[in-house]
Amino acid sequence: MTERELLPVAAGPRIRSVLLDLLRQAKGRAIGSFAFVVGATAIGLLTAPLLGRVVDLVATRQSAAALGWPVAGLVLVAATSAITTAIGVSMLARLGETMLADLRERFIDRALGLPLEQVEKAGSGDLTTRVTNDVSVVADAVRQALPALARSVLTIVLTLVAMAILDWRFLVAALLAVPIQLHTVRWYVRRATPLYAAQRAAVGAQQQQLLDTIGGAKTVRAFRLADAHVDRVRERSNGAVELALRGVRLATRFYGRLNLAEFVGLSAVLAAGFLLVGANLATVGVATAAALYFHSLFGPINTALALVDDAQAATASLSRLIGVTDLPSPAEPTRVGPPVDASVKAAGIGHSYVDDHPVLREVDLEVAPGERVAMVGASGAGKTTLAKLIAGIHQATSGTVSIGGVPLDQLGPAATRRAVALISQEVHVFSGSLADDLRLAAPEAGDEDLHAALAKVGAAEWVEALPDGLATVVGEGGHRLTVTQAQQLALVRLVLADPPVAILDEATAEAGSAGAKTLESAAAAALEGRTGLIVAHRLTQAAASDRIVVLDSGVVVESGTHDELVAAGGRYATLWTAWSGLRGHRW
């Protein structure tokens, strides 16, 4: 199996640079959030000394009236801390969501602009898991881990300061737990970082295998490859599960070491309090406050260190997102004139997906402006590959493709997309109104333009019959369209985009016999006034074309009109005879 060229991941310094850049863009909100969280944390720390004061008052047998102001103080601290915490957490969450939205927009913008050749080499599963799993992991970290981590770190710092104010010896005792905690974190990070990166890659490989197996289900069943594909899915799944279990075992050992640090620290603080009270260097209330302070650190310390686990997962996902956003955009040429016409020329085209296994060899093809040419051949002959090369999706291994006399590498990706449109048999209907779906091809198109394009491909009648016409919601969760209707929408988009060159790659292959006739008429109408290349699944389409090019094993073996090729008795004639006999056609 060919090793996939996965999309890149960003290194640690680059991740930090991006995060700092996002923070700078929301500097005011970041400062405000930090101020409120610090204030809320500082107010909450007043609880321990107030409780210590209560202990001292009780220990010295003071009157009940003397307990009034400490108790009132506790109530005031609780209310004020709750209000400021709520405001601070809300502001922090808004800050995180803003940064996440910015990062997500950058990622989607770059992902949509990736060369399809690069996506195909990586496998759609790699990009899919970044869009879904990785974005979800980062989003959860921003919504949950970021606020919790901020509060925990501030609580730890301010609590240690408060312990030092009580008596510096309490702070020294508490810090005995720090070496164990630091060692635990370093031990964990060294193992967790590569483990989570490997886990993300394994999930991507699993997703890709599932897409390959499910997407090619018909082929898998036809060639009785189900068992082999199930084995591959099982292998990928087992790999992902094994890495997940390794992560669980690692986290369990991590928390066990943290519990040891808690025991050491609390024992030291209690021992320090016993000695200081015994030597009359501190009151029982002060020692109680110190013990409460350290005990209150259990939650924040465990939360902060536990969030190392979430941070490692989020960092692994973040590196995959930033790796895509940092990919350079395809270079656009400067000062290159537009195509002079709608002609297409492929000269000496050779292409290989794998070294030493050519798919196309020295293919020459010229299509005049407005000419309609059908490409015919057995599966694997190279028809779709040639179509993708002409559309600029792939770059030919050798040779050149020109549109209107301008080579594609000089024309640039943006101009190529405006000049050439490729319609395949795989059509996606986007969620939303039918009008919005169609306007993806022409955002400025009015309803009259949409109706005219629908009428041109013969789709106006069934669209008008929809519950809400153009306003009908289609796609996921909306009105279900038939295969024929979905393919007609793709042809309507072609009409609205109005490129000078159109390529139809087996655009009627998925429809039944009745649907195929409808789509053939729709395709012919959509190609009017433009140069057309048709990868013909049905030879009736080829017969109706101006010229037919026959490919075999990556080489053009015949070229001519339908009548010429049938009369020549060559490869096309054999295909036509088989097609006509099978369907009872008479030409």
Is the distance from CB of 239 to CB of 202 less than 8 angstroms? yes
pLDDT, greater one: 335 or 454? 454
Q: Beta strands 432-433 and 531-535: pairing type? A: unpaired
For residues 506-521, average pLDDT: 68
Residue found by looking up tokens 């010295």 in the block: 60
For residues 520-528, average pLDDT: 91
* 284-290-292 Cα angle (round to 5): 100
For a pLDDT cut of 70, what percent of the chain falls above it? 94
**What is the DSSP secondary structure assignment for residue 283, as one 8-state letter?**
-
Residue type, 160: L
Residue 510 pLDDT: 54
Is the distance from CB of 159 to CB of 297 less than 8 angstroms? yes
Residue 132 tokens read as 């879904």
Which letter, b or e, does each residue of 542-575 get, where b requires 16 or more Cβ atoms within 10 Å of its Cβ?
Answer: bbebebbbbbeebebebbbebeebbeeeebbbeb
| d(C-alpha 492, C-alpha 494), whole Å | 5
Per-residue pLDDT band for 421 (boundaries 50, 70, 90) equals very high
| d(C-alpha 150, C-alpha 129), whole Å | 28
Residue 146 pLDDT: 72
Position 562 pLDDT exceeds 70: yes
Residue 236 tokens read as 């990928």
Q: Domains, the chain, ranges and CATH? A: 12-325 (1.20.1560.10), 344-583 (3.40.50.300)
Sign of CA dihedral 227, 232, 238, 241: negative
What do you get for the CA distance between the two ends of the chain, in Å?
45
Position 586 pLDDT exceeds 70: no
Position 573 pLDDT exceeds 50: yes
pLDDT tens digit sequence for 294-350? 888 877 877 777 676 677 778 888 888 888 888 887 777 766 678 889 999 999 999
| d(C-alpha 170, C-alpha 174), whole Å | 6
- Which pTM does this prediction carry? 0.64
For a pLDDT cut of 90, what percent of the chain falls above it? 24
Q: What DSSP line would sit under 289-350, residue for residue? A: HHHHHHHHHHHHHHHHHHHHHHHHHHHHHHHHHHHHHTSPPPPPPSS-PPPSSS-EEEEEEE
- Report helix, strand or coil for 155: helix
pLDDT tens digit sequence for 180-209? 888 888 888 788 878 877 887 788 788 778
For residues 255-265, average pLDDT: 84
For residues 220-234, average pLDDT: 78
* 362-368-370 Cα angle (round to 5): 135
Secondary structure (H, E, C), 229-251: HHHHHHHHHHHHHHHHHHHHHHH
- Report helix, strand or coil for 519: helix
